[in-house]
Chains A and B, each alone.
Chain A
Amino acid sequence: MIYAILGFWVLTALMMLREEKVGRIIIYFGIYSLVAAAALLILGSPDVAMAEIAISAFATIFFVIGAEKYYNLAYGTDIAQEDKTTTEGMKKKSGIKKHIAPLVFTLFIFGLVLYFVPENNPNPYLKEQYITRFMTEMGGENATSAIYLGYRVYDTIFEALVLVVAVVAVLHMSFFERTSIDDGIRSDIQRSGLAVFIIRIITPLILIFGIYLVVNGFLTPGGGFQGGVAVATFFICRYMIYNIFDLPIGRILRMEELVFVSIVLFAIVGIFLGTAAYVPSGWLVHFQHTYLIIMNALIGIKVACGFTLLFYRYAGIERLEGDER
């Protein structure tokens, strides 16, 4: 089963390699991410699979918006009417220098890796330590969540910092002056009554599912990242239904920075107070679950703010270019 899925995975990448049209490459990338998520689920890691599904949906949306901008700006045509004249740089080039030399180089490095990497028998010592001790030391029932919120919380803080830096970079590099107005332009999706009807039905379910993932992240598969991305999807659906563009981007960015600072402060508080394994008496007995839930909720709010900002910024680029034309 797992080998069949991985074979299909490699096949998708090979199709992507020989494809010449940008739109089809993006569609293949969505299929590729979905197959990889299925493989991750079979490999025994539902947390990573859920994160990969949510993130790949966002990545596909961003690729579509970026490619559409590229076609409108560079060629003045739609991505659906892509023809041979617009796919410049995608043609297969014949000849040894263009085709054979990179292949030989890649195979050479592949052979070096296969030959020189030493024997890897994964040592199960750390795994056994984590699995036997996380329920008394960190609480909760999800070992993955216990590790990224407790034992290796510095990694989580660093990841939150990288997300803040990426959001600030996107805000800085997209030259969009107006932040929160309703300019009265209707998007195409509002002409389709069926799409708006279905989105109206599933939108509250998405929000409830996101909050459930965040709050139950320490017991079941899920957590702050996955739930935060689901909550950000709720804001995308809101944009699709009502087509209003009234989110105050500066305030959301400030809120994200404040939430990041509070993540750092709360992690420091957790380290100094200790969890119930270190301070096992008195009023701190129930601090474990409180710590896990509050950290998951803070990370969820932060990720939701970041991805909402990214999406609205890309939508803002799209609208600005529409105005110019």
Chain B
Amino acid sequence: MNFSVIELFALAMFFIGFYGLITSKNVIKSIVFISVVEMAVIIFWVGLGFRAGMVPPIGEFLEHDMAYIADPLPQALMITAIIIGMSVTAANIVMLITLVRKVKSTDWDTIKSSSENAT
């Protein structure tokens, strides 16, 4: 157990999103909390090894202290993760519209009972 404060914030946010996912009874709320969990993961990765006064990794760093430059590798990976998360959200919302067109509700219990009645 050796986390920095930023990593603890990100972990707490991850589990807030997890709690919202397993307790929400509405489909739109579930989709929103999937995005919340993604954002927590992004903050966790970018905040790894953060120190106060870090500079972005842009420009030449010939005489700069290496410990105070932000790590560029998680940033490059997280830009990719943001676009993939947006793709997942768009697909989720179009699935939501298809579901509402059939069931006329966004309550998980109503959807479950109507699918049981259909089969």
Contact = CB atoms under 8 A, between A and B. Distances in A.
Given A144-B76, A169-B94, A89 B6 contact: no
A131 B93 contact: no
B3 to A, nearest CB: 7
Interface of A: 2-3, 6-7, 9-10, 13-14, 16-17, 22, 25-26, 29, 32-33, 36, 39-40, 43-48, 51-52, 55, 58-59, 62-63, 65-67, 69-70, 73-74, 87-91, 93, 98-99, 102-103, 105-107, 109-110, 113-115, 117, 119-122, 124, 126-128, 130-132, 134-135, 141-148, 152, 155-156, 158-159, 162-163, 165-167, 169-170, 173-174, 220-221, 223, 225, 303, 310, 313-314, 317
A90 B26 contact: yes
A46 B70 CA distance: 11
Contacts of B69: 44, 127, 131
A75 to B, nearest CB: 8
Of listed A91, A98, A142, residue having the most chain B CB within 10 A: A142
Contact of A73 (B6, B89, B93, B101): B101
Given A16-B36, A88-B110, A310-B90, A2 B79 contact: no
A159 B83 contact: yes
B88 A166 contact: yes
Nearest to B58: A142
Chain B interface, DSSP helix/strand/loop, else mixed:
helix
Contact of B86 (A14, A58, A106): A58
Interface string B62-79: 000011011111011111
B54 A69 contact: no
Interface of B: 1-3, 5-6, 9, 11-13, 15-20, 22-23, 25-26, 28-29, 31-33, 35-36, 39, 42-43, 46-50, 52, 54-61, 66-67, 69-73, 75-80, 82-91, 93-98, 100-101, 104-110
Given A147-B76, A159-B80, A70 B97 contact: yes
Contacts of A310: 90
A51 to B, nearest CB: 5
Contacts of B72: 127, 130-131, 134, 143-144, 146-147
A173 B16 contact: no
B53 to A, nearest CB: 9
A45 B75 contact: yes
B79 A174 contact: no
Contacts of B25: 89-91, 93
B84 A141 contact: no
Contacts, number: 267
A257 B80 CA distance: 19
In this complex, the member of B17, B33, B83 whose beta carbon has the largest number of chain A beta carbons within 10 angstroms is: B83
Nearest to A164: B87
Contact of B70 (A43, A102, A115, A159): A43
A141 B59 contact: yes
8 contacts: A6-B43, A40-B46, A63-B32, A74-B106, A90-B26, A103-B19, A144-B57, A162-B83
Nearest to A103: B19
B110 to A, nearest CB: 7
A314 B93 CA distance: 10
A88 B107 contact: yes
A127 B3 contact: no
Given A17-B20, A173-B98, 11 more contacts: A10-B13, A39-B43, A45-B56, A48-B75, A62-B89, A109-B15, A121-B2, A142-B57, A159-B83, A314-B93, A314-B94
Contacts of A143: 57-58, 72
Contacts of B56: 44-47, 221
Nearest to B62: A132
A140 B103 CA distance: 53
Contacts of A66: 28, 93-94, 96-97
Nearest to A46: B56
A55 B75 contact: no
Contacts of A166: 87-88, 90-91
